[in-house]
Amino acid sequence: MALSKMNIPPRAQHFLECDIEECERNCEFYCNNCHLRLCKQCEGEHLKNLKNKTHEVVGYQQRKRQLPMERCEIHPTKNMDMLCEECQVPVCSKCVTQREHRGHLFTDLEIIYSEKYAVFQEEISKIHEYFLPTSENLKKEIKIDSSKIKHILDDLRTSMKTEGESLKSMVDTVVSENMKQIDQIEHSLFEALNTQDETMDDYISYLINLVKELRSSLSSTEPQKLMSEKKPKIQSIPETTKPVTPVFTAGQYSKGDVAKMLGKIYIPKTKTENREKRPIESVFNVRMKLTHRQMNKDEEKIDNIQTFSLSASVTKIREFNVPGVDNVRHISLDHSEKLWFSDEYGNLVQTDLQGNEIQKIKTSSEHDGYHTVTWEGDLLFTDQSNEVINRITQDNNICEFIDTGDWKPISIHSSHINGDLLVGMRAGREGKVTRFNKTGKELQNIQWDDKGQKLYGALHFITENVNGDICASNRSRSVVVVNKSGKHRFSYTGQESTFSPRGICTDVLGHILVVDRYNKSNTIHLLDEDGHFLTHILAQQQYSVCPRSVCVDDENNLYVGHLGNTVRVYKYLQ
């Protein structure tokens, strides 16, 4: 039966024969000088020859590797066979006599080559016999853990759903009991009121009859009789009581209280355990020095939490030009310390933080905020003409990601909170914000306020604040902000009637920064998270050209793109 290649050890080799002519015995030795494979018998004969008296014959596994022949560039008829230890260059036997190498020490190049060859062979053996098998085993463990995690999370979902159903049942029971109590109170109150009503009916009847009797006395033809009758005594009006109506005291609870009743899910604060790996010494019985330092640190990293506030002044820290774009209309921050810039001609350029071009893509989109970078580092950009959202993966594959149907996707933002996608879309004169999850499933549509009035026109740019608010730069000369549920919070219409918002972003403090592109303003409005105007972030005279786009990176640096390909970077928080 033929052996599979997978069953052949990486060090396995063909049966080695002795190199001596007509000898077919097994090779056991090697002459490092002649580079001959020798059997035991021929090894003895080889050393008996006086010419070979100084030759070094070793076991085959301890042999020196034969140096590949390489001609000297200076002396083409000679092979390079030595290394100048001072110059660290390979040389031939004729080079050593040259003036530039006089007094230098030389080492046999074959010895160095053989040593290096042995080191690399050993590394290859380690890879095949330890690193690859160990990695495959770890991969199997990861797959098993993935399956376990799936079952655990499914059980958690079931438990949470059961808890929710149980709480709903308890709420229904309490509401039902309260309703019964109200019914009993109603019955008691109406019974008392009916009794009082009957008492008043009887008293009214008594009064009517008394009036009849008195009129009868008045109509008598015998005055003497009337004068003899006593003054009638009218019974007092019966006492009645006002009913005391029940009062409902609403329960004092919050979402947090409900969460406590339902229980919460969390990841235990335990130290992450590294997967067990067998030591390399268990495969190679040699003492090895570790060539890596602290690869598996057990110390926990403590995040340094900084408190920021608005700086008294704004400082420009650098400036650069973006190649390949006409005007910097929109900026997207890539998590790998890169930036994407676009203009109104569909040019989309990626650069490093100094503005050096990495790649350029031609799209059919225009000047709106039509691109964003996802959690995974993929670039998404909208295609209004084809009504789709495209994805560019990190290996530069472009594919259609979301079909938006009859709605044209104009602006897009990838949430830093949960990875959802917020897309500003338009159909005719109608505008809306649609939320998709990371896989492209539609989750939410926001189009109207609670009075049925439309919120949006054309949404040029869109972003998300740290509190989950969705902030959109709207063509109707306003910034429209709704909460994560889609409820309208406020609209900001600027400090002057000429307010024309374009690029928009938020920062770690929840500030909203929006570009006012109107030529007389040419500034950036800074709002708090409730829409109150705080300041113009930069004075008008600080601009040589008009601002169009803004972006704040993880270091709280403010990137401002201008009319032209200039980008300026500022510090405005301290």
- DSSP secondary structure, 209-265, as one string: HHHHHHHHHHT-S-HHHHHHSPPP-PPPPPP---------------HHHHHHHH---
CA 298 vs CA 137, 266, 379: distances in Å: 23, 21, 35
Give me Rg for the CA atoms of the chain: 45
The mean per-residue pLDDT over the stretch 135-158 comes to 89
What is d(CA 393, CA 395) in angstroms, rounded to the nearest whole number?
5
What is d(CA 523, CA 501) in angstroms, rounded to the nearest whole number?
10
Domain boundaries, the chain: 15-63, 310-573
User: Do the beta carbons of residue 505 and residue 551 sit within 8 Å?
Assistant: yes
What is d(CA 201, CA 187) in angstroms, rounded to the nearest whole number?
21
User: Bridge partners of 334?
Assistant: 338
% of the chain exceeding 70 in pLDDT: 89
What is d(CA 491, CA 478) in angstroms, rounded to the nearest whole number?
6
- The burial of 444, by beta-carbon neighbours within 10 Å (0-12 exposed, 13-18 middle, 19 or more buried), is given as middle
What is d(CA 298, CA 178) in angstroms, rounded to the nearest whole number?
56
281 pLDDT more than 90: no
pLDDT bin (cut points 50, 70, 90) of residue 545 is: low
What is d(CA 205, CA 161) in angstroms, rounded to the nearest whole number?
65
Buried b (16+ CB within 10 A) or exposed e, 153-162: eeeeeeeeee
All residues at 6 or more sequence positions from 119 whose CB lies less than 8 Å from its CB, including other chains: none
All residues at 6 or more sequence positions from 294 whose CB lies less than 8 Å from its CB, including other chains: none
The pLDDT of residue 141:
87
User: Do the beta carbons of residue 369 and residue 461 sit within 8 Å?
Assistant: yes
DSSP letter at 40? H
Query: Locate tokens 């140096």: which residue?
Result: 67
**H or E element that contains 446:** strand 442-446
Query: Can you read off the two tokens belonging to residue 451?
Result: 């009075």
Query: Can you read off the two tokens belonging to residue 62?
Result: 């301890």
**Phi, psi dihedral angles at 130 (to 5 degrees):** -130, -60
Q: Dihedral sign, CA of 284, 286, 287, 293?
A: negative
For domain 310-573, give the CATH number: 2.120.10.30
pLDDT digits (tens, 9 = 90+) for 444-487: 999 999 888 999 988 899 999 998 999 999 877 899 999 998 99
The pLDDT of residue 300:
35
Query: Can you read off the two tokens belonging to residue 37?
Result: 């494979």
The pLDDT of residue 22:
81
Q: 132-146, 339-353, 358-372, 515-529: lowest mean pLDDT where?
A: 515-529
The pLDDT of residue 81:
86
The mean per-residue pLDDT over the stretch 115-126 comes to 83
Query: Locate tokens 């015995």: which residue?
Result: 25
pLDDT bin (cut points 50, 70, 90) of residue 530 is: very high
4 pLDDT more than 50: no
pTM over 0.85: no
What is d(CA 507, CA 309) in angstroms, rounded to the nearest whole number?
11
Maximum C-alpha span of the chain: 184
Nearest one of 453, 471, 389, 387 to 426, comparing CA atoms? 387
* ∠ CA 433-437-438, rounded to 5°: 125
What is d(CA 552, CA 507) in angstroms, rounded to the nearest whole number?
6
Amino acid at position 406, single letter: D
Across the chain, mean pLDDT equals 83
pLDDT bin (cut points 50, 70, 90) of residue 491 is: very high
DSSP result, 408-440:
EEEEEEE-TTT--EEEEEEETTEEEEEEE-TTS
Helices 255-262 & 132-218, crossing angle to 10 degrees? 120
The mean per-residue pLDDT over the stretch 327-340 comes to 88
pLDDT bin (cut points 50, 70, 90) of residue 285 is: very low
CB count within 10 Å of CB 538 equals 20
What is d(CA 121, CA 426) in angstroms, rounded to the nearest whole number?
64
The pLDDT of residue 322:
93
The pLDDT of residue 426:
92
User: Do the beta carbons of residue 302 and residue 526 sit within 8 Å?
Assistant: no
Nearest one of 406, 402, 345 to 372, comparing CA atoms? 402
% of the chain exceeding 90 in pLDDT: 34
User: Do the beta carbons of residue 338 and residue 332 sit within 8 Å?
Assistant: no
What is d(CA 568, CA 318) in angstroms, rounded to the nearest whole number?
6
Strand order in the sheet with 89-92: 89-92, 80-84, 106-108
